[in-house]
Amino acid sequence: MTDGWMRLMAYADDGWMRVKLHPPRTQSISIPTPNNLKGKLGKQSYLEKAITEPTGLADDEYAYRVRFDWDEQVALPGALIVRNEHDKEFYLRTITLEGIPDHGKIHFLCNSWIYPAYCYQKDRIFFTNKTYLPHQTPAPLYKYREEELEILRGKGKENKRLEEWDRVYDYAYYNDLGLPDEGPEYVRPIYGGSAKYPYPRRGRTSRPPTKTDPHTESRLPLVKGTDVYIPRDEKFGHLKFSDFMGDTVKSLTHGIVGMLDAVFDSTPKEFDSFQEVIEMHKGGIKLPSFTKLREKVPTKFLKALFRSDGGQMMKYPMPDIIKVDESAWKTDEEFARQMLAGIHPLIIRRLEEFPPLSKLDPEVYGNQNSSITKECIEGNLDGLNVQEAIQRNKVFILDHHDTVMPYLRQINRDTPSKVYATRTLLFLKEDGTLKPLIIELSLPEGDKFGAVSKVYTPANDGIKAGLWQLAKAYVNVTDSSYHQLISHWLHTHAVIEPFIIATNRQMSMLHPIHKLLHPHFRDTMPVNTVARQIALNANGLFEAAVYPRQYVVQWTSSLYKDWVLTEQALPKDLIKRGMAVTDPKSPHGYKLLVEDYPYAVDGLEIWSAIETWVKEYCSFYYKSDDMIVNDIELQSWWKEICEVGHGDKKNEKWWPKMKTFDELTETCTTIIWVASALHAVLNFGQYPYSGYMPNRPTISRHFMPEPKSRMYDELKTNPDGVFLKIVTSQLRTLACLSVIELISRHSEDEVYLGQREPGWTSDTPPVEAFDKFSKKLVEIEKKILERNDDPKLKNRVGPAKLPFTLLCPSSGVGMTGRGIPNSVSL
């Protein structure tokens, strides 16, 4: 006889509750001894009374004792079968067996919802925390390992509606963004599965088609959107659910945005000055009457959405970018610094040819090369000519020309946005900071090939100063939109989802790579589902608040064609952009050409720590390349990612073959980097930097004022007013602030890089390697904070006195501007 205890939670419609006694019954599956090739199924055991041990239980967790008959003639239990004989599901956290002579405790890390037995064709099975490659699996467990994967792949449910208790991971196209039943203007393409609109696959959600289009999946209002099928174990934990699905997000459905439009359209209120924008964060700002809105929207939703008392005063937290100095964001120094140490510090590249050349097909787009001449900039190169400055690695470019130009004609024609393709040249000064040299704004040349471009240079006085400030704003519109839609959504959220699906379908929880990657997939599928409900959808938040409007997803699809997984590795990205070169003498193997490049300096240390951890972990399980080649689950996983999950890119030659240890470890390091550190940089600084809209506008509503126009003349007397007329409107600002404040926060149950649940494996060397990794991250964080205090490193803090902390691994709860969660969780 041996004792065990089960740590579980139970969920009912009215909230968390204490479960009744004897809900599940369990059976052990013993691993055979060498002389006994048959596994033994133990007797059924029922859960007994609640116990007060172990300590450390959360308020909604309960532990129960269960006793098993154990025959000393057979080996240890390798798995447990759990059957729920109640009519309510419960969440099973862990099972721990105690009292086995000479073996201490045996842990089963479950972390799964268990539904009543009648919901399943087979009872649930949970394996110990041991790790096995497929060929190492004890024979009596092997069939259970295979059966579990068949269940997760949805065998027998390929064309059936999936229920909440189903545990099926399957793929679908992005065919749920349109609203064809509401009219032709809400029809959207299906993304994925075609050469015209390639896209990563999403998880299958099993909703019926719309009435008017059998190929478009219907959508639910977000308040009911939690009924959308996602494997239950992927759904938010209740703390994250409470944080994320609170009144703020519920308020931002298609209907609410539409009603807000109606209210604000009748009262054309705009921000008149930067001070009025700041007042929104200080004492609050008075808004138009909400009488019309209250007829349809509960007051508590208004309170959440507008941070008001339900009346007419609205107030948001003070963004860090203006906390110390309210005008530092306007300086050229801060404008340039944020390209190295802001929320989008991964686009700037070293200029290698002059003038800058376009890679767009001239037969389709005509001549798109830059119109900038050397005469425009040579007076600001500290005595160097252009070629000397380029040869000395002194000239850099923020280039949003080729990514924008193909869509400009239809965006500027079909939407209220008025946008330019932009190029910004910068010069590296002796103190390590960058200074802007020139900005080029380009438009398509009417109905012809080619581009019409104008250039603007820095100025401090008169109309030229106003035009220069506007030119920087147009650059920030293109950069912030690329940040939000491409770098953030597409390159982290969307591309990671196929890896999550394939990992669950093709690799058992016993597999070492599953155990390695699983913490980095937490909450991504539900977050992406919510994004399709409120942000990517027709007339959703992105269409309302980011300049491509109805073309937002179409734009991301066109740029997905350029996505290459291997180039997401930080070192390869830096080398490709000309920001780094290999250097065997460096601790991490690379030399930066801008030494004070905070994102790259901190990032390379984080990357190196992840890479070392991954290599030490994988080397414990894979002793040769042949073991990788012959790992049937690993090879099936990789094949499905390449051919299905990212199937629109399956014929591209860059995919690693997954035949060597280096290919395996670099792929896993890249996945972890993208899901954790890269996403953290792009997400958790959004409110600190973008919460003050003039610093990071996402829409421009007018072209640059031309001489003799009313707006041009107004630049002489009211340049700030002209700026605010051109960029995002008051309504769009409010909608943006509500969302970015929400997603910039860390929830109470956030799990950060370097943290894992105790007992995740019984293998000692991987545990020791992970502990070393965790300690290394603590050291890195200390060094980051020390660098921020070094006055010689001017890019670390800058004129706005906003330290770069986005790659500090740890964080508290809330909006901190730091912290690297394990996964793409918001």
- C-alpha to C-alpha distance for 294 and 297, rounded to whole angstroms: 5
* Distance between CA atoms of residues 790 and 807, nearest Å: 17
Task: Compare 345 and 81 and report the one with higher pLDDT.
Answer: 345
Residue-wise pLDDT tens digits, 385-400: 999 999 999 999 999 9
- pLDDT at 742 (0 to 100): 80
Q: For residue 623, what are the CA distances in angstroms to 372, 618, 626, 637?
A: 55, 9, 8, 20
Per-residue pLDDT tens over the stretch 99-140:
777 777 888 899 999 999 999 999 899 999 999 999 999 988
Give residue 54's pLDDT band: very low, low, confident or very high (50, 70, 90): low
User: How would residue 534 be classed by pLDDT, with cut points 50, 70 and 90?
Assistant: confident
Residues 6+ apart with CB under 8 A from 312: 286, 287, 288, 289, 290
* Cα 715 off chain centre by: 39
Q: How many CA atoms lie within 13 A of 78 on its CB side?
A: 22
Which three-class secondary structure state does DSSP give residue 357?
coil
Report d(CA 66, CA 25) in Å as an integer: 9
Q: 822 and 500 in contact (C-beta within 8 Å)?
A: no
Res 236 pLDDT > 90:
no
pLDDT value for 227: 67
Nearest to 116 by CA among 81, 82, 86: 86
pLDDT band at 66 (very low <50, low <70, confident <90, very high): confident
* Closest among 161, 158, 76, 164 to 120, alpha carbons compared: 164
Percent of the chain with pLDDT over 70: 85
**pLDDT (0 to 100) of residue 639:** 98
Q: Over 50: is that where the pLDDT of 225 sits?
A: no
Q: Look at residues 688, 604, 670, 576 and name the one whose alpha carbon lies nearest to residue 343.
A: 688
Q: What are phi and psi of 223, to 5 degrees?
A: -60, -30
Provide the whole-model pTM.
Answer: 0.92
Q: Which residues pair with 455 in a beta bridge?
A: 440
Question: pLDDT for 547-561, tens place per residue?
Answer: 999 999 999 999 999
For residue 355, whether the previous peptide bond is cis, meaning omega lies within 30 degrees of 0, is yes
Residue among 145, 215, 664, 236 nearest 153 (CA)? 145
pLDDT at 34: 37
**pLDDT higher than 60, residue 591:** yes
pLDDT digits over 26-42, tens only?
655 554 433 333 456 77
DSSP 8-state secondary structure symbol assigned to residue 797: T
pLDDT, tens digit, for every residue of 723-757? 999 997 777 777 777 778 888 899 888 999 999 99
Q: Provide the pLDDT for residue 44.
A: 79
pLDDT range class, residue 53, cuts 50, 70, 90? low
How much is the pLDDT for 55? 61
Cβ neighbours, 10 Å, residue 283: 9
Q: What integer pLDDT is reported at residue 587 of this predicted model? A: 85
- Residue 222 vs residues 106, 225, 246, 427, 467: alpha-carbon distances, Å: 42, 4, 11, 47, 42
Nearest alpha-carbon partner for 611 in 565, 671, 681? 671
Confidence tier at 764 by pLDDT (50, 70, 90)? very high
Average the pLDDT over 487-493 and give the result.
Answer: 98
Is a pLDDT exceeding 70 seen at residue 253?
Answer: no
> What DSSP element (H or E) covers 690?
helix 686-690
